[in-house]
Each structure stands twice: as structure tokens, then as C-alpha cells.
Amino acid sequence: MTSTRKNALFAGNEAGAKNGVMLASLVPTCKMSGVNPAGQLAETLRAILDGHPKSHIEDLMPWRHPQPSSLAV
């Protein structure tokens, strides 16, 4: 946690620090859910840009990310 606090000092402003912390927590959350963090972030941003409704934001969480089928080879 110490390195996270130190990195937040150089975020530029409070919003930047909050965004950095959010992204730093996204990676372990994705890993715990068995999801590729970069892919999940890219798909989430794409959905938001495509107009995904804020009322259904829960659908974009890593634990709701569709898992690839082992049969789809």
C-alpha cells in the first residue's frame, strides 16, 4: 500500500488520484474473477462509448464478464 500512496502523490489532482486507485483495484478484481484486465477494461470502455445505460452499470463489472468457453477453440 505504501507505493500506492506514494504514486497518488503525483496524480496531479484528487480526481487523478481517485482514477489511479480505481484502475489499480481493477486488475486484482479481474484476476480474482478469472478475467483478462486489459480486455475487460477495453470492453467496458467500448460499451460506455456505445451508450450502455448507467442504470445497468452492474452488467459491466468484472465478475459479470462473460467467460470464454473452453469448447470455442
Over the stretch 17-40, which tens digit does the pLDDT of each residue have? Answer: 787 788 888 888 888 888 898 999
| pLDDT, position 50 | 95
Domain membership of residue 72 (yes or no) is: no
Average pLDDT of the residues in 3-30: 73
Q: Are the C-beta atoms of 42 and 71 separated by less than 8 Å?
A: no
| Residue 12 to residues 2, 25, 29, Cα–Cα distance (Å) | 18, 19, 25
| pLDDT, position 6 | 56
The domain total for the chain is 1
Q: Are the C-beta atoms of 18 and 24 separated by less than 8 Å?
A: no
Q: Is the pLDDT of residue 5 over 60?
A: no
Residue from 71, 70, 73, 67 nearest 35 by CA: 67
* Best-predicted range by mean pLDDT (16-25, 47-56, 58-67): 47-56
Write out the residue range of the structural domain in which residue 57 sits: 2-64
Domain membership of residue 71 (yes or no) is: no
Domain membership of residue 22 (yes or no) is: yes
